[in-house]
Structure 1
Amino acid sequence: MKAILTKEYGTPDVLELGEVDKPMEKDNEVLVRVKAASLNYGNVVLLSGKPFLARMAFGLFKPKFAIPGGDIAGVVEATGKNATQFQPGDEVFGDLSAFGWGGFAEYVAVPEQAIVHKPTNLTFEQAASVPMAAVTALQALQKGKINSGQKILINGASGGVGTFAIQIAKAYDTEVTAVCSTRNIETACSLGANYVIDYTEEDVSELEDRFDLILAVNGYSPISVYNRLLKSNGSYVMIGGSQAQMVQAMFIGPLISLTNNKSMKNILQRANQNDLLFLKELIEANKVKPVIDRTYTLRELKEAFNYFEQGHAQGKVVITI
């Protein structure tokens, strides 16, 4: 089968399209013929080996996962003798990041808990854009103790995680303020944001509003700004962004939490089948829909990575296989 191979850490130039043996499913696994995949921040970390601490999981000197790719959507081709959740012909989607990766290939053998049935109202390309980004958004909102009626600020609302965060927050019946650039205002509004702030025209640090929950998805604002914008008993959750923002969330956030009644946290997304099933329900109820910026073929994966790393994607970058 055709697959993308990585033998060393580096830029997208180290990615190679090659031929490898088609995998064989184990007793508790299913063999999936991959129809589409998508890019996430985790793919960039696995490719580059940065930040260096990530190599503790991905391989110290070279990638221990030869075939990258986390999010997939495809068709079950065969099942192991102990696999009972799926049948050949089932359309599925899932996140392989906790199960050895391997999504940038024509086939992958995965444990049953890595996948769920694909939403009936999505194409394979749309379904492949969902798992990692949408689960990240859901887990961040839940870590921030989202509740109906809250005022929520999403800083970095136009990328993969941000576009899902807007919709999931609205599904909880909350008031959402989205922060994005001028070209993304229309998208944020179409996804249900009650208010949209153009960060090229308005400084978030000068807002007078106070929020019950703040998600910091991208970019950089000092944690002191988010602390000021939170209501008493409010929660701040850092998902991504600059290294300075990550360091502040990890080390300064807990200190702030100890000295007042606000919660300042960061989150590391983990693949979760139950979370994916919950999102499938929201999607089939037309409460959440994927936003896809661009689609590339497997042969164009280097170009896809180069575009994704620029950080200006409006929604998800998808790979057809």
Structure 2
Amino acid sequence: MKVITARKYGNPEVFQSEEWETPSPKKNEIRIKNHNSAVNSADWRLRKPDPKLVRLFFGLTKPRQPILGTSISGVVDAVGLDVTRFKIGDKVFGSMGMRLGAYAESICIQESSVITILPKEISFSEGAALPFGSLTAIDFLQKCKLQKDQTIIVYGASSSVGTSAIQLAKHFGAIVTAVCSNGNFELVKSIGADFVMDYSEFHSENHKKKYDVVFECVGKSSISSNLRCLLPGGVLVLVGASFKDMFQAVWISLTKRINIKFGPIAETLENLNFLTELTKNGKFKVVIDQSFPLEAMTKAHQYVEAGHKKGNVVIDICK
């Protein structure tokens, strides 16, 4: 099978195409012929690595797992002896989590993983794009205990996490303000944003409004600028927090008793099934910007790392 590997940390040019033996599933595993994957901010940060603390978890000098990628979407073509949830021919999608390995034509994964049946209403491309942004957004919104009629401002609203956060916050009954570039105003309004503003307006001294939740998706605004917009007792979410941001957030939380959420998320099958139902019933839209073939992984990472994508970037693998 064809795989794309990163044998060392670095820029997008570290990727190379290799031929590996197709794996066979263990007793509790299924094998998936992978039709699509996706590239997101977590992927390029791990590849770089950014922050350098990533090395402690994924390898000090090089990635321990050379095949990166978390999102999978494809067809089960082999099952282990003890598998009961899935059968050969099932269309499935989900997340590899920190095991990685999604940049490959075939994948073996435990049937207990965060994977589920892909409904006929959802394409393979949408299945690959759905997990990262939406599982991240819903976990943080749950941690915020977002309530009906509360106000939330989403910074980096046209990103994968941002487009998910807008739709989920609206589903929970919140009043949503989206912060993005002018060219993405129509996109964020089309998926539910009640109000829109560009980045300069957000940072302007004229922006006096405060919100129950400030949801920073892209790690490009300072904690102080976000706290300026936070109501007393509100929650600040830092999805793309740097190590410096995390340290500062802990200090502020301890000294000023401000509720700041950051760090790893909990990907759960319950949340994936919930999101699947929303998408299946037309209540959640998977926003896809571009698709790249597996062989163009370098270009896909270059595009995503540049920070101008709208929603998700999908990788086409098997057809």
- 1:242 to partner: Cα distance: 5.7
More deviation, 262-271/302-311: 262-271
- 1:303 to partner: Cα distance: 0.5
Aligned to 2:277: 281
- Pairing 1:10-29 to 2, within 5 Å after superposition: 10-29=10-29
The one-letter code of the counterpart of 1:293 is D
Mapped partners of 1:263, 1:89: distance in 2? 46
Distance 1:254 1:153, change over 3 A: farther
Aligned to 2:308: 312
Mapped partners of 2:50, 2:230: distance in 1? 31
- 1:195 to partner: Cα distance: 0.3
TM-score, normalized by length of structure 1?
A: 0.93
Distance 1:10 1:220, change over 3 A: closer
- 1:61 to partner: Cα distance: 1.1
Mapped partners of 1:278, 1:306: distance in 2? 32
Distance 1:220 1:66, change over 3 A: closer
- 1:241 to partner: Cα distance: 5.2
- 1:116 to partner: Cα distance: 0.8
Mapped partners of 1:186, 1:177: distance in 2? 13
- 1:208 to partner: Cα distance: 2.2
Mapped partners of 1:312, 1:247: distance in 2? 27
Provide structure 1 residue ranges, at least 5 long, that are not aligned to the other structure. Answer: none
Identity %: 37
Given that residues 150 and 175 in structure 2 are in contact (C-alpha distance below 8 angstroms), is that contact kept between their aligned partners in structure 1? yes
Aligned to 1:186: 186
Aligned to 2:240: 240
Secondary structure of the structure 2 residue equivalent to 1:130 = helix
Mapped partners of 1:66, 1:130: distance in 2? 23
Secondary structure of the structure 1 residue equivalent to 2:97 = coil
Given that residues 35 and 73 in structure 1 are in contact (C-alpha distance below 8 angstroms), is that contact kept between their aligned partners in structure 2? yes
Aligned to 2:268: 272
Mapped partners of 2:312, 2:84: distance in 1? 32
Mapped partners of 1:207, 1:200: distance in 2? 10
- Pairing 1:103-142 to 2, within 5 Å after superposition: 103-112=102-111, 113-142=113-142
The one-letter code of the counterpart of 1:294 is Q
- Pairing 1:174-253 to 2, within 5 Å after superposition: 174-201=174-201, 203=203, 206-240=206-240, 245-253=245-253
- 1:205 to partner: Cα distance: 5.7
TM-score, normalized by length of structure 2?
A: 0.94
Given that residues 218 and 242 in structure 1 are in contact (C-alpha distance below 8 angstroms), is that contact kept between their aligned partners in structure 2? no
- Pairing 1:44-193 to 2, within 5 Å after superposition: 44-98=44-98, 100-112=99-111, 113-193=113-193
Given that residues 179 and 202 in structure 2 are in contact (C-alpha distance below 8 angstroms), is that contact kept between their aligned partners in structure 1? no
Distance 1:64 1:200, change over 3 A: same
Provide structure 2 residue ranges, at least 5 long, that are not aligned to the other structure. Answer: none
- 1:201 to partner: Cα distance: 4.7
Secondary structure of the structure 1 residue equivalent to 2:165 = helix
The one-letter code of the counterpart of 2:55 is R
Secondary structure of the structure 1 residue equivalent to 2:303 = helix
- 1:118 to partner: Cα distance: 1.4
Distance 1:267 1:119, change over 3 A: farther
Q: Count residues with an aligned counterpart.
A: 316
Of 293, 296, 306, the match for 2:292: 296
The one-letter code of the counterpart of 1:171 is H
The one-letter code of the counterpart of 1:111 is Q
Distance 1:206 1:111, change over 3 A: farther
Secondary structure of the structure 2 residue equivalent to 1:16 = strand
Distance 1:224 1:54, change over 3 A: same
Distance 1:173 1:298, change over 3 A: same
Mapped partners of 1:143, 1:207: distance in 2? 26
- 1:237 to partner: Cα distance: 1.1
The one-letter code of the counterpart of 2:287 is V
The one-letter code of the counterpart of 2:211 is F
Distance 1:219 1:11, change over 3 A: same
Mapped partners of 2:101, 2:130: distance in 1? 17
Secondary structure of the structure 2 residue equivalent to 1:105 = coil
Secondary structure of the structure 1 residue equivalent to 2:209 = coil
Distance 1:203 1:241, change over 3 A: same
Distance 1:144 1:206, change over 3 A: farther
